[in-house]
Structures are given as structure tokens and as C-alpha cells.
Amino acid sequence: MTTYIIRRVIMMIPILIGISILSFAITYSAPGNPAMMNMDPSISPEVREQQIKRLGLDDPIPVQYVRWMGNVLQGDLGTSYHRKVPVTDLILDRLPNTLLLMGASLFLAVIIAIPFGVLSATRQYSKMDYTVTFGSFVGLATPNFWLGLMLIMLFSVQLGWTPVGGVATIGAEFSILDRLHHLLLPALVLATADMAGLTRYTRSSMLEVINQDYIRTARSKGFRERRVVYKHGLRNGLIPVVTMLGLMLPTMVGGSAIVESVFGWPGIGKMFIDAVFQRDYPIILAVTMFGAVLTVVGNLIADIMYAVLDPRIEY
């Protein structure tokens, strides 16, 4: 196991380097000049050239990439063009909010999707199965931003049950209940698509497991159906589901960008959206690489969890 983990970590290095090259090239090739953002149009061309040179944007893209990568390897993600603050400080300031949102979303997706997936599989072609299947397809097809706006209109504007946005009540003392009150809708919206997909994966996996010989053997021994399904079947049925759980981490980073913008949640995702409109290249690259790291780490965690769930799997 240790040898396998070390080998996989070494393999991450060229993958992340390739992603950084593509991300840098695409970002710096996009239309728009960050040196011209928020600048008075009447400013002389000489001042503009000085601004471009100060930011280092007059060098060829390969030269800029090598300079940026050298700073990253030293732990320097650069300074925000718009905010004039080190990108590392901005990320560390907003990272707890994003992790809180992602953690709550993942928790909701797991505790709701897996039980419904198991019920749908054990009651195949029943009304329960059709209802769960229909709900899963609706969840997969519903855009996060539309669902978020509809829930805000219903629960925040019309009913007044939840806040419109933000992470906490302005001017109020810290309260866990207040944070949960603000967290409920964003976490639910972010979890919707992953919840629907996880339900379908769990159902398909359990349908294969419950027809295996060892399940019939367990039933023939007189074990209760609940014990047969959840103790003998679910453990093996969760093996392919673990893959999706590992891949849900990076998708939540992308989904959080939309959800955080809709709900005004001060996290990394909202900062990324703002940076795109402001052509703030250091922030864009830092968040992109953060998502890339989560992707490869999520895959590694999924592979390791295979052995935890099924010791027969060898590396």
C-alpha cells in the first residue's frame, strides 16, 4: 500500500505540471488585458505601457509561465492585480467558508442518496423505485443557479424562513445556529446534482450485489433482510460508489463557484468568478490549480478506499 501511494504521488507531478501549462496558456491567451481593467480611458499610452511592464505582461507567455511556476514552487502564488493583496492570503481567508459549504454538501448528499439508492434497488420497479428514479433525473437536469434562485424566491423572499445570502447575520454575535441557518440552502443546492448521481450509482451497484450467490446464501441462513442488505450487500455495493465520492470533490469546487455567487457566499468560488470578470490572472490560476489538486487527490483517496471496503483488492 505504501509503495502504491508513493508511486501515485509521483505520478501526480507531471499531471499537475501539464494542467498548469494548459491553464496558464488558456488564461493568458483570453481576450482582455488586466492592466487596462479599472483604468481611466483617458490615461496616456505611456502610463498604460508602464502598467503592463510592471505586471510583467510584456514578456512572452513561456517566460511568464516559467516565472510564475518558479514563484509557485517557492510558495508564492502572486499578488492579486485588482485587490493588491497576496493570493495566498485571499485563499486562506476564504477557504474555511468553501470547505464548510463543500463538507455540508457532501454530508447531505451521502446521508440522503445512499439510503434512497438502497431502497430503490431493494424495491425494484415499485412506486418507490420509480419515484426515486424520477427525482434523480430531475436533480441531474436542474441547473444549480436556477434551483438556487427558485429556493431564494420561495423560502427567503415569500416565506421568509431563510436568509437571502451571506455566511452570517451582519452585526450579530457568532452563533452555530445562525451559521447553519445561512448554510442550509447553499449546501442543499450544491448537493442536488451529486445527490442525484450518487443515488443512481448506488441503485445500479446494489442491483448487481443483491443477486450474487453470497447474498442468497446469507438469506438461506435465516438472516434478517436488513442485515443481509446493509451488512453483506452494502459494503461491496459501495465499492464503485467510492469512485464517484472521490470525483465529487473537484466537481463541488466548480459547482461552488455558481452557488456561492447566487447566495453571496464569501468563498473561493465567488472569488474565482469575480477574478474572471476582472482578468485577475493570479487568482484564476491559483483556484484552477486548487481544483486540479483536489481532482488527483480525490482519485487517490478513492483508490485507497477500495482496499478498505474490499481487502481482496490488491495494488
- Quote the pLDDT of residue 87: 92
- Quote the pLDDT of residue 17: 92
- Quote the pLDDT of residue 75: 87
Please report how the helices 87-122 and 239-263 are oriented relative to each other, as an axis angle in degrees rounded to 10: 130
pLDDT tens across 4-45, in order?
778 888 888 899 999 999 999 988 887 777 766 655 566 667
Q: Are residues 117 and 209 in the same domain?
A: yes
Q: What is the CATH number of the domain that holds 302?
A: 1.10.3720.10
Q: Are residues 100 and 58 in the same domain?
A: no
Q: Are residues 241 and 163 in the same domain?
A: yes
- Quote the pLDDT of residue 42: 60
* Residue from 85, 70, 61, 55 nearest 17 by CA: 70
* Domain assignment of residue 162, yes or no: yes
Domain ends where: 10, 39, 73? 73
Q: Are residues 39 and 124 in the same domain?
A: no
* DSSP letter string, 52-119: HHHTTTTS-HHHHHHHHHHHHHTT---B-TTT-SBHHHHHHHHHHHHHHHHHHHHHHHHHHHHHHHHH
Q: Are residues 198 and 55 in the same domain?
A: no
Q: Are residues 187 and 251 in the same domain?
A: yes
Q: Are residues 228 and 104 in the same domain?
A: yes
List the chain residues with pLDDT less than 50: none
* Domain assignment of residue 314, yes or no: no
- Quote the pLDDT of residue 314: 60
Grid cell at residue 231:
451488512
- Quote the pLDDT of residue 7: 83
Range of the domain at 195: 96-309
Q: Are residues 14 and 122 in the same domain?
A: no
* Domain assignment of residue 198, yes or no: yes
Domain count of the chain?
A: 2
- Quote the pLDDT of residue 41: 60
* Domain assignment of residue 141, yes or no: yes
Q: Are residues 144 and 39 in the same domain?
A: no
Q: Are residues 8 and 60 in the same domain?
A: yes
pLDDT tens across 165-174, in order?
888 887 778 7
Grid cell at residue 51:
502598467
Q: Are residues 247 and 123 in the same domain?
A: yes
User: What CA–CA distance (Å, rounded) separates 276 from 32?
Assistant: 10
- Quote the pLDDT of residue 309: 63
Q: Are residues 69 and 116 in the same domain?
A: no
- Quote the pLDDT of residue 36: 67
